[in-house]
């Protein structure tokens, strides 16, 4: 369900817009330049101050990733690793040297390369763990602006509304202008709470879930690489790695996937 986040944001905006229209409000009113300046530019500045410029230059890429995440093919990766385990057991670890070039995923390639180079198992695990930990920190840094914006935007909305109300209070002697002025003041709150609820907080949560899924994927890969290096039986490798795959995605025993066949050959 790659486009879940896009669908969700569209559904949320449609629901709010339709409800507001039925109440009689002209929805276009939210495109209020002062409110946008105070809430969105004010929040952007505060998140830059909080998270640094670098994380913000990557925002378009981060947004794209959150809205259209890569698919993580757990079963395909298990098959790939089990076939390496099979080959290593038959022809030795050095036989993987040629296979290394054909691996797309840089993490898997680096791991198998280390194994082929005869690196110490503890060092293989340490280097790959450090890569994962670094990825976790990069992901956390990439979603930090969303989390900060989710926390700051509603209060920036209050700043905008209070500024508007200060203006209202200084014009109490012109009652005919009060209504529209108060309405305009409230638009900042609307913009702040709305952007946080519909965009920033859901994006932050989505990115967190995607990061966890990718780490889970890499942990499975790391376990597989270490099992290959230890010379484990391909059946045992498949058994270990399948526990990382949700039950409903696991190939049934009769299915002619390479994993299932490795299990049979080994049995």
Single out the residue of 138, 255, 264, 265 in contact with a copy of itself (rule: CB under 8 A). Answer: 138
- In 3D space, the residue among 58, 105, 98 whose CA is nearest the CA of residue 80 turns out to be 105
Contacts of 14 (CB under 8 A, 6+ apart): none
Q: Which stretch binds a copy of itself (CB under 8 A): 19-27, 84-92, 93-101, 253-261?
A: 19-27
Residue 103 contacts a copy of itself per CB under 8 A: no
CB of residue 115 to a copy of itself, shortest distance in Å: 13
In 3-state terms, what secondary structure has residue 208?
Answer: helix
By CB under 8 A, what part of segment 62-101 binds a copy of itself? none
Q: Which lies closer to a copy of itself via its Cβ, residue 83 or residue 250? A: 250
Minimum distance, C-beta of residue 101 to a copy of itself, in the bound complex (Å) = 15
Q: Is 69 helix (H, G, I), strand (E, B) or coil?
A: coil
Shortest Å distance, C-beta 166 to a copy of itself: 4
Rounded Cα distance between 59 and 61, Å, is 5
Of positions 47, 62, 211, 259, contacts a copy of itself by CB under 8 A: 47
Strand spans (E) along the chain: none
CB-CB contact of 226 with 123 (8 Å): no
Least Å from the CB of residue 47 to a copy of itself = 7
Distance of CA 253 to CAs 80, 196, 249, 259, 262, Å? 17, 47, 12, 9, 11
Chain position carrying tokens 């098959």:
79
Site for a copy of itself in 186-205 (CB under 8 A): 186-190, 193-194, 196-199, 201-203, 205
Q: Could you give the string, one character per residue 147-186, with x where binding to a copy of itself holds by CB under 8 A and - elsewhere? A: -x--xx-xxx-xxx-xxxxxx-xxxxx--x-xxxxxxxxx
Helix then strand then coil, % of the chain, to nearest 5: 85, 0, 15
Cβ-contact 244, 74 below 8 angstroms? yes
Using left for φ > 0, alpha for ψ between -120 and 50, and beta otherwise, residue 32 falls in: beta
Whichever of 36 and 99 has its CB closer to a copy of itself, that residue is 36
Which residues in 208-227 contact a copy of itself (CB under 8 A)?
A: 209, 216
Decide if residue 40 touches a copy of itself (CB under 8 A).
Answer: yes
Q: Work out how close the CB of 17 gets to a copy of itself at its nearest, in angstroms, rounded to a whole number.
A: 9
Site size with a copy of itself, rule: CB under 8 A: 107
| Among 68, 94, 134, 230, interactor with a copy of itself by CB under 8 A | 134
Residue 206 CA from chain centroid, whole number: 5
Least separation in angstroms between CB 152 and a copy of itself? 5
């Amino acid at each position: 369900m790659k486009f879940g986040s896009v669908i969700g944001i569209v559904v949320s905006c449609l629901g709010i817009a339709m409800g507001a229209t039925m109440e009689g409000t002209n929805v276009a009113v939210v495109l209020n330049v002062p409110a946008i300046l105070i809430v969105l530019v004010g929040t952007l500045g505060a998140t830059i101050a909080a998270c640094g410029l670098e994380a913000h230059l990557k925002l378009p890429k981060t947004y794209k990733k959150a809205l259209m995440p890569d698919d993580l093919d757990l079963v395909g990766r298990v098959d790939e690793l089990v076939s390496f385990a099979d080959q290593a057991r038959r022809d030795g670890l050095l036989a993987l040297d040629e296979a290394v070039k054909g691996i797309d995923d840089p993490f898997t390639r680096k791991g198998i390369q280390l194994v082929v180079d005869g690196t110490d198992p503890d060092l293989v695990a340490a280097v790959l763990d450090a890569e994962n930990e670094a990825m976790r920190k990069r992901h956390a840094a990439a979603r930090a602006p969303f989390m900060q914006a989710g926390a700051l935007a509603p209060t920036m909305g209050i700043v905008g509304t209070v500024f508007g109300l200060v203006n209202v209070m200084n014009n109490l002697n012109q009652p005919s202008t009060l209504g529209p002025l108060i309405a305009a003041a409230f638009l900042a709150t609307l913009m702040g709470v709305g952007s946080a609820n519909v965009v920033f907080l859901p994006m932050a949560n989505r990115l967190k879930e995607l990061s966890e899924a990718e780490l889970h994927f890499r942990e499975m890969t790391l376990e597989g690489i270490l099992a290959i290096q230890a010379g484990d039986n391909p059946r045992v490798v498949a058994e270990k790695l399948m526990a990382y795959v949700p039950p409903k995605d696991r190939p049934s025993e009769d299915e002619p996937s390479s994993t299932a066949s490795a299990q049979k050959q080994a049995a």
